[in-house]
Chain A
Amino acid sequence: MKKLLLKTLLFSTFFCFIIYHIDNYFTKNGGLATRYKNVYKNEKNIEILFLGNSHGHCAFNTDIINAKLSSHSLNLCDGGTNIFQTYYSLLEVLNYHEPKLVVIEVFSILERNLEVDLKDNMQIYKVRNFAQIESKRLGLVKFKEAKVTNSYTDNGFLNVFNIYKNHEIWADLEKMARVIDLNLSFKEFRNYRKSFSSLSPERIKAFENYERQKDKNGEEIILSKEEIQEIKKIINLSKEKKFDLLFVVAPIYKGYYKKVKTQYTIVNKELEEIFDEYDNVKWLDINNKWNGANASLIMNEKVNNNQHLNYKGGMKVSSLMVDFLDKNYSFIKKESTKILETPEDLVFNSKILKSIDTTFHTAIKKINGKNTKEIKLSKNLKNLSINGWMVKENENMNQSEKIIALKKDDDMIFLSNSKMFKNKKNKKLERFGRQAGNAEYDFRFPINILDTGKYSLYSILKTNDGKFFSKKEKKVIYIVE
């Protein structure tokens, strides 16, 4: 019996060790898991932590914030996350980091999911976002979160283990490969959502007739006692662990906001009253400050009570946040001195952007079919299209990432994504190196997200080893009505 017990113990230890290390490969949301991996990697202390749901995910562009400030921030906001999960996400981060400031976006409190109650019959908090718990490492926080939320109540304790709950994921080999790749390579990840669409005229019109539905219990927008309790728990934690708290309301579409402003004001006032009692808690209602966001800052989504900021909206909120943080928190310095890690580091720091490398060659041949130094494009056009090339001498262009930046001013710089490029072979460019053939590109960028005005163009290349090269192009674009 002793032999069996000893061997069972040893084997179980070995088994648990392996499970602990492979459990995160069995997640259905590779994106959030990768963001959590950044928490666990623990290379740099996370100084500013952003928490909340999809609204925070779209509003806080940490690449811009990190580029403009000499601090390191991480956005762990994710769709459907409620305030109860936020508490556990915070607990998890505190196990590995000592944040100086935690920013919490409160849309989940203002607009609770209309379809579900706050608690079920078992008095367990209902959650919709299982990615938050799946992305966490096996540990006490994960077990506690599972216990108080409905994450796994239907399916039993074993579902805390991703490998048990999501074991069927192996059958989706593409997804599995993507998650494994994300986990193994730990590629650079984007911890905010970047949508290039903006609200269509049809949907703007539809909002005029839209009426917010009451929730299942016939309730309007209210602050529940459970939520107040949870907020106070977070505040107490902040005092215990000595960090500041900033509660933020990210802007929603103004066409909707005007319909719920009275109710939002009541809840926000209640929240403000709670926060006023504490020295280390601040409140920033960007939504009220802007009186809602313009249609051009909102994604083109279904007409309902849940509108998200697009790339431009996120950029504006992030710039505002940078100024607010700079003014209100002494640990933050606005001048960034750090090395280049993201394209945002490059473009939002104009000194670096001006740097010249003589081995980086670029050309913009045509903009929307024309080869002129200046071109006027109507906002009504669908796309801005560019034909050109960029090449770094002796660099493998198949493994390099091309980026085009459209800069209006220091706060408004649009960066392209890889899907906007269609690479082309150009044998002539092989004079710059044997693997330079794929340097030519056709590029398309949606015009409707751009404000009217003058835009400078920058060609940027990120090589496989993470180095950036940039060049300001001579051609300029004017976006006109």
Chain B
Amino acid sequence: MLFNSLDFAVFFPIVFVLFWILAKNIKLRNILLLTSSYIFYGWWDWRFLFLIGISSLVDFYIGQKIDRSDNLKVRKKYLLVSLFINLGFLIYFKYSNFFIETFVDSFRLFGKELEVSTLNIILPVGISFYTFQTLSYTIDIYRRNLKPTKDWLAFFAFVSFFPQLVAGPIERASHLLPQFFKKYRFNYRLVKSGLLLILFGLFKKMVIADRAAFYVNEVYNNTELYEGVSYSIATILFAFQIYCDFSGYSDIAIGTARTMGFDLMKNFDSPYFSKSLTEFWRRWHISLSTFFRDYVYIPLGGSKKGNYRTYTNILIVFIVSGLWHGAAMTFIIWGAIHGIILIIEKLIANKKTKIFEILNLSKNNLSNHIFFGLITFSIVCLAWIFFRSNSLPDAFIILNGIFTNFNISEIFLKETYLIGIKQNEFQILLLAIVVMCFIEIRHKKKSIITFLDHQSVIFRWGCYFISIMSIIIFGIYGPRNIQEFIYFQF
């Protein structure tokens, strides 16, 4: 079920009302959450419910086994079983064809053609997300950071919790699982803030992301038809598309959970205002970056085994992160670019500080913010080219176009902005991006909810009304236009 669909608009209020009716009875409430989560997922394809079921069952059982045993070898064995099953599913469904294709391509490099056909596999929606979530549970128990639950119902509900099931945030059991045992009291303010967050998420997704997609898809799917300026605009728009798409999803997920009293972790923190890539990764897809930090980077040794090992670990983490995003070389290169730039940033960090001291520059002045912000944004955009391109050759065509065929006069041509989109549609897109940035900046200084709470009812209702109407009128939807969230494919 999509958040931006009529099905969800009917489904959610029903679950919301039932939840608060059953709020005091934890068992019934968890039955409701489990059932509704399975309906939510099964709406897409009920056959894959068994995957979530198996994953939940395995980790529930293994979690208890690990906890009960004091023998490290036994504990490790159980952990490996969990890793094998969970990652096995992930690798089979997500990476089988990638490995087959890579295998065939490698032989082709040596002039040998292998006749191996790829498998006809459907990628189960959200598998990368819930697999990581259940893995974190067993790993935390293995590390003795968490006590396993004995309530299978709560655990199954935790794994399949519908607001964040298919595209995160990837929650840690230590944070989310205890919330399934908490007693909730209806909190009007919390519900209101959840609803507003849903509204903002829908605005980002339907007004910005799906509108930007028209331009981006046209250019990226027909690279041979366009040149440098169009590639650049498409890439910048893609930066906003993917941000609004994914952070929009996270907002809706967090908002939906919040209306029922659940607290999900923040997933985005205005990442395009970052002054470095290191900062960018502290603000972009926070739940994934912290997952990789805790479960890949630190086990590899983190930064405690010398500089070279640190750099290697960073590179490994980002290549794995790229691979997590998609089974293609383009994603691996995207991850590698980020890894390399982060290493460079680490290498020059001390020199940068010294230069600042010599020139007596403040790190927090506006020009510094703008200068380094623009550099960071440019690097991020450059990497997005690989992320969005349909193939590696396409990515190089775009890069080549931007760096060798950038006709600056085209910037002033109206036609440059009207690719796959009408003039007033483009204007609305720009305006919506400005509005979104304004809201995010404003919200960082002072919570929008608090701000609205201090306004008159007419102003508040006017804001709600305008927000809803702007989604209804300017949103991209309808039978021909409904767009899935980008991160569903990961």
Indicate whether A11 sits within 8 Å of B461 (C-beta atoms), given known contacts A164-B472, A171-B422, A171-B424: yes
Indicate whether A170 sits within 8 Å of B6 (C-beta atoms), given known contacts A4-B188, A11-B464, A155-B479: no
A-B contact count (CB 8 A): 39
Q: Is B26 an interface residue (CB 8 A)?
A: no
Indicate whether A155 sits within 8 Å of B478 (C-beta atoms), given known contacts A4-B191, A14-B465, A167-B472: yes
Indicate whether A158 sits within 8 Å of B6 (C-beta atoms), given known contacts A167-B473, A173-B424: yes
Which residues of A172-217 have CB atoms within 8 Å of chain B's CB atoms?
173
Q: Is B356 an interface residue (CB 8 A)?
A: no
Report chain B residues within 8 Å CB of A168: 478
Q: Contact between A1 and B473 (Cβ–Cβ < 8 Å)?
A: no
Contact flags A156-174 to B (C-beta < 8 A → 1, else 0): 1110000111011011010
Q: Is B475 an interface residue (CB 8 A)?
A: yes
Q: Is B487 an interface residue (CB 8 A)?
A: no
A171 to chain B, nearest CB (A): 5
Which residues of A123-158 have CB atoms within 8 Å of chain B's CB atoms?
154-158
Interface of chain A, helix or strand or loop or mixed?
helix
Q: Contact between B474 and A170 (Cβ–Cβ < 8 Å)?
A: yes
A90 to chain B, nearest CB (A): 30
Report chain A residues within 8 Å CB of B479: 154-155
Report chain A residues within 8 Å CB of B473: 163, 167, 170
Task: Pick the residue among B188, B472, B477, B478 that contacts A163 (CB under 8 A).
Answer: B472
Q: Is A122 an interface residue (CB 8 A)?
A: no
Q: Contact between B472 and A171 (Cβ–Cβ < 8 Å)?
A: no
Which residues of B459-484 have CB atoms within 8 Å of chain A's CB atoms?
461, 464-465, 468, 472-475, 477-479
Task: Pick the residue among A4, A156, A171 that contacts B6 (CB under 8 A).
Answer: A156
Report chain B residues within 8 Å CB of A15: 465, 468
Q: Is B20 an interface residue (CB 8 A)?
A: yes
Q: Is A289 an interface residue (CB 8 A)?
A: no
Q: Contact between B188 and A171 (Cβ–Cβ < 8 Å)?
A: no
Which residues of B256-277 have CB atoms within 8 Å of chain A's CB atoms?
none
CA distance A157 to B10 in the complex (A): 12
Number of A residues near B (Cβ < 8 Å) is 20
Which residues of B205-234 have CB atoms within 8 Å of chain A's CB atoms?
none
Find the residue from B186, B464, B473 having the highest chain A CB count within 10 A: B473
Report chain A residues within 8 Å CB of B475: 167
Q: Is A18 an interface residue (CB 8 A)?
A: yes
Contact flags A93-130 to B (C-beta < 8 A → 1, else 0): 00000000000000000000000000000000000000
CA distance A140 to B425 in the complex (A): 34
Number of B residues near A (Cβ < 8 Å) is 20
Interface of chain B, helix or strand or loop or mixed?
helix
Q: Contact between A3 and B424 (Cβ–Cβ < 8 Å)?
A: no
Report chain A residues within 8 Å CB of B472: 163-164, 167
B97 to chain A, nearest CB (A): 34
Contact flags B1-38 to A (C-beta < 8 A → 1, else 0): 00000100000000000001000000000000000000
B474 to chain A, nearest CB (A): 7
Indicate whether A1 sits within 8 Å of B461 (C-beta atoms), given known contacts A15-B468, A167-B472, A170-B474: no
Indicate whether A14 sits within 8 Å of B461 (C-beta atoms), given known contacts A158-B6, A168-B478: yes
Q: Which residue of B lies closest to A156 (CB)?
A: B6
Report chain B residues within 8 Å CB of A4: 186, 188, 191-192
CA distance A14 to B464 in the complex (A): 11
CA distance A164 to B477 in the complex (A): 9
Q: Which residue of B lies closest to A26 (CB)?
A: B473
Contact flags A1-34 to B (C-beta < 8 A → 1, else 0): 1011000000100110010000000000000000
Which residues of B181-195 have CB atoms within 8 Å of chain A's CB atoms?
186, 188, 191-192
CA distance A131 to B15 in the complex (A): 37
CA distance A16 to B473 in the complex (A): 15
Report chain A residues within 8 Å CB of B20: 1
CA distance A477 to B74 in the complex (A): 110
Report chain B residues within 8 Å CB of A1: 20, 186, 188
B172 to chain A, nearest CB (A): 30
Q: Which residue of A lies closest to B186 (CB)?
A: A1
A20 to chain B, nearest CB (A): 14
A180 to chain B, nearest CB (A): 13
Q: Contact between B425 and A171 (Cβ–Cβ < 8 Å)?
A: yes
CA distance A261 to B47 in the complex (A): 59
CA distance A154 to B480 in the complex (A): 11
Contact flags B415-434 to A (C-beta < 8 A → 1, else 0): 00000001011000000000
CA distance A167 to B211 in the complex (A): 14
B161 to chain A, nearest CB (A): 22
Other contacts beyond A1-B186, A155-B479, A173-B424: 17, CB < 8 A: A1-B20, A11-B461, A14-B461, A14-B465, A15-B468, A154-B479, A155-B478, A156-B6, A163-B472, A163-B473, A165-B478, A167-B473, A167-B475, A167-B477, A170-B424, A171-B422, A171-B424
Considering the complex of A and B, which 9 residue pairs feature the smallest CB-CB distances, nearest first?
A: A1-B186, A167-B473, A155-B479, A3-B188, A171-B422, A156-B6, A170-B473, A171-B425, A171-B424
